[in-house]
Structure 1
Amino acid sequence: MMNTHISNIWRLGIKELRSLWADRVLLVLIVWAFTGGIYSAAIGVSQELNHAPVAIVDEDLSPLSMRLSRALTPPFFNPPENIALQQMDPTMDQGRYTFAIVIPANFQRDLNAGHRPTIQINIDATVMSQSFIGASYIQQIFAAELNEYLTGKRDTSSLPIKLVSRVRFNPNLTGYWFGGVMEVINNINMLTIILVGAAFIREREHGTLEHLLVMPLTPFEIMMAKIWANSLAVLLGTTVALTVVIQGVLEVPIAGSLPLFLFSAVIYLFSAASIGIFLGTIARSMPQLGLLIILTIVPLEMLSGGVTPRESMPELVQQIMLAAPSTYFVRLAQAILYRGAGMDIIWPDLLAMIGLGAIFFLVALVRFRRAVTQTQL
């Protein structure tokens, strides 16, 4: 009996893989999601300051003002362009510069006389993240240059002790290290739900679900076949994404064990696929499934800790998201890929995913059996 179940699940899974191979649209989606999609998400939405355009209105024309201008260098800033004061507002309105710095006349003379002259920094705040990061950089750079000019030392600190910050896991604070890996995790979640849910709807729309029901097959076998076949496609894409795109193209180091992460991903794929089948039993068509997936995937990705830390969310949201397997998968994935965690650290999250996956699978199985009964009637 067990051999019959395994054989049925295997053969149905092969059928699912053939159906997926014949669906060129889904194939293109999978390939793009785990290659170009990850690269563009990592590089294209970087929040780091990079070659910000700067204009300087130098009304002092002193050696010190020129020194300040030369201190703004790539890769954070483009070489500053000198403009007249009357050009500043029109050029910023046109979006040509993110920063426009006004150094007043007699700036060096007033500083040498012990006065506190003011440097004006005009910021285009429509580029929100880079504008505030850049303003902080400019203040630090100018403070260091002025302190070195006055005292011969760049360090402005007068504390009796020296605090040294050491950044772990991402010493250069490279933003796309985080963005690329998290895009892989989000795509695992998104594509698993989409593929499994679409597979169920495709059976219904093509009329092949009725063909399956007249065969000696159980709903359990049909569900397991869809889960393992579509999960295998996602797992292969994940492996390619981590080895070729993340480690190869983006050169992001993976701190932990890749096999351990893939093993954990297999467990999560079971949970996510069960959610996909559950949504497939509710929807009656592909458009309905698409709307349900949007309502499901967006909260899972936004509130599971992959976009913002869970600690910054309201307490109620944190408690609600404990019922989502994606919360544990994101935490587990970050621990393995970023911090090199082993099984001794991630096992509680694995157990939580297994428990929630079993619950979602049973709920989806009950819904599937009801759908089968209604179809037979």
Structure 2
Amino acid sequence: MRKLSNILQLGLKELRSLYRDRTMLALIVYSFSLAIYSSATGVPESPYRATVAVIDEDRSQVSARILDAFQMPYFIQPRMLQSQEQMDQGMDRGDYTFTLNIPPKFQQDLLNGRQPTIQLNVDATQVSQAFTGAGHIQQIVSTEVDAFVKRYRGEEAVPVQAVIRSEFNPNLTRAWFGSINEVVNQITMLSIILTGAALIREREHGTIEHLLVMPITPFEIMVSKVWAMGLVVLLASGLSLHFVVEGWLGVPIAGSIPLFLLGTALHLFATTSMGIFFGTVAQSMPQLGMLFILVLIPLQILSGGQTPRESMPEPVQNIMLAAPTTHFIILAQGILFRGAGLAVVWPQLLAIASIGGVFFVGALSRLRKSLR
């Protein structure tokens, strides 16, 4: 009972210290609110109200079809220009992100079996829309030209046609994927930072020596920091899912949030232990930041959150099975995207708990050596 009391009181001390640290509080609030929103919506998956100017030298049926295909909200109504000089001046001023030049006799050459070309100019300084918009315009032109040629020549339809159905995200909205993945990334990031910073703060303020002369053990010190910082991140992630992901972004959660929070708690057990380990290795906050960058970036890139694990080399896939983030991302995507239950994700829960136990023992051993 005395050990439990010590762990409880030390954990409450950590929470009070965090409450007085306005910088860390601001980081937590930002990470689970604006950071998630900006990550989910910052890079558009399709153009939005992009500006287009067109020189139509053909003025044919097919060119009219192409112009009519530029619809809101992807493109503002195309502005018709009369000369190449107007187009160049508009591009130089930044008035248009895209300019299209349809040459004369375009429809005639198309129907005669020739391969006419359409000139598309892109203002690549408009980074957010240039690359996605160029592909979108290319698709528009190809679709309208193919439909016109087939209708004019009376070509028969292909007897077999593939019908694509997107089950979990019918409109393929990027924010649905981006917001969930960002919540997972923020859980990993903040749990490591908070626990590592808590240990370094003890050393910098000289309070670690006060703890050592008290009748408490390194185990109690470590467990108190793990449960206190883990609880903060767990509560913040739950509130973020409810108010930011579901409320602000309007992302439907398919599965059980309590089951996801159970997996998050096990994941926090592993990542907070990692934070304690880094706190024993680093001697200052800048050193902790450097260690954090070296570890977090590979965890985010190679765990399957940004790119599918199946596309990675097999040795990398096998190595990353030792990282808790790999199993946590599989668990999070299974529950929140596909509505998976306990019968599906129990292997990930078991793997995270096992890896967390190994990390906890390693971090505790390192902490004991550093306090001698």
- Shared fold per TM-score greater than 0.5: yes
- Give yes or no for the alignment of 1:26 onto 2:24: yes
The SS at the match of 1:121 is: strand
Partner of 1:293: 292
Q: CA deviation at 1:211?
A: 0.7
Partner of 1:186: 185
Change (3 A) 1:130 1:210: same
2:56 to 55, 58, 76: 58
Conservation of the 8 A alpha-carbon contact between 2:191 and 2:275:
yes
Matched residue count = 371
1:48 to 34, 46, 49: 46
Q: CA deviation at 1:71?
A: 1.5
Structure 2 matches for 1:129-168, cutoff 5 A? 130-152=129-151, 158-168=157-167
User: Which letter maps to 2:326?
Assistant: T
Partner of 2:96: 97
Q: CA deviation at 1:126?
A: 5.9
Partner of 1:322: 321
1:261-310 Cα offsets, whole Å, 9 max, x none, are 00000000000000000000001111111111111111111211111111
Conservation of the 8 A alpha-carbon contact between 2:53 and 2:96:
yes
Q: How far apart, in 1, do the equivalents of 2:111 and 2:161 lie?
A: 28
Partner of 2:281: 282
1:285-341 Cα offsets, whole Å, 9 max, x none, are 111111111111111112111111112222332222111111111111111111111
Structure 2 matches for 1:233-244, cutoff 5 A? 233-244=232-243
Structure 2 matches for 1:200-219, cutoff 5 A? 200-219=199-218
Change (3 A) 1:140 1:189: same
Identity of matched residues, %? 54
Partner of 2:346: 347
Conservation of the 8 A alpha-carbon contact between 1:193 and 1:276:
yes
1:103-149 Cα offsets, whole Å, 9 max, x none, are 11133444466655332333445667854543443344334434554
Partner of 1:81: 79
1:235-256 Cα offsets, whole Å, 9 max, x none, are 1110111000000010000011
The SS at the match of 2:327 is: helix
Conservation of the 8 A alpha-carbon contact between 1:42 and 1:180:
yes
Q: How far apart, in 2, do the equivalents of 1:67 and 1:89 lie?
A: 24
Q: How far apart, in 2, do the equivalents of 1:113 and 1:312 lie?
A: 44
Q: CA deviation at 1:345?
A: 1.1
CA-based RMSD of the aligned residues comes to 2.3
User: Which letter maps to 2:9?
Assistant: R
Q: How far apart, in 2, do the equivalents of 1:243 and 1:152 lie?
A: 50
Deviates more, 1:155-164 or 1:6-15: 155-164
The SS at the match of 2:371 is: helix
Conservation of the 8 A alpha-carbon contact between 2:46 and 2:136:
no
Change (3 A) 1:230 1:125: same
Q: CA deviation at 1:370?
A: 0.5
Q: How far apart, in 1, do the equivalents of 2:92 and 2:299 lie?
A: 39
Deviates more, 1:34-43 or 1:316-325: 316-325
TM-score, normalised by the number of residues in structure 1: 0.91
Deviates more, 1:125-134 or 1:10-19: 125-134
1:8 to 6, 25, 44: 6
The SS at the match of 1:361 is: helix
Conservation of the 8 A alpha-carbon contact between 1:48 and 1:175:
no
Conservation of the 8 A alpha-carbon contact between 1:144 and 1:156:
no
Partner of 2:224: 225
User: Which letter maps to 1:195?
Assistant: L
Q: How far apart, in 1, do the equivalents of 2:64 and 2:188 lie?
A: 53
Change (3 A) 1:205 1:56: same
User: Which letter maps to 2:268?
Assistant: L
Deviates more, 1:305-314 or 1:326-335: 305-314
Conservation of the 8 A alpha-carbon contact between 2:101 and 2:118:
yes
Change (3 A) 1:86 1:226: same
Partner of 2:333: 334
Conservation of the 8 A alpha-carbon contact between 1:147 and 1:156:
no
Structure 2 matches for 1:298-317, cutoff 5 A? 298-317=297-316
The SS at the match of 1:101 is: strand
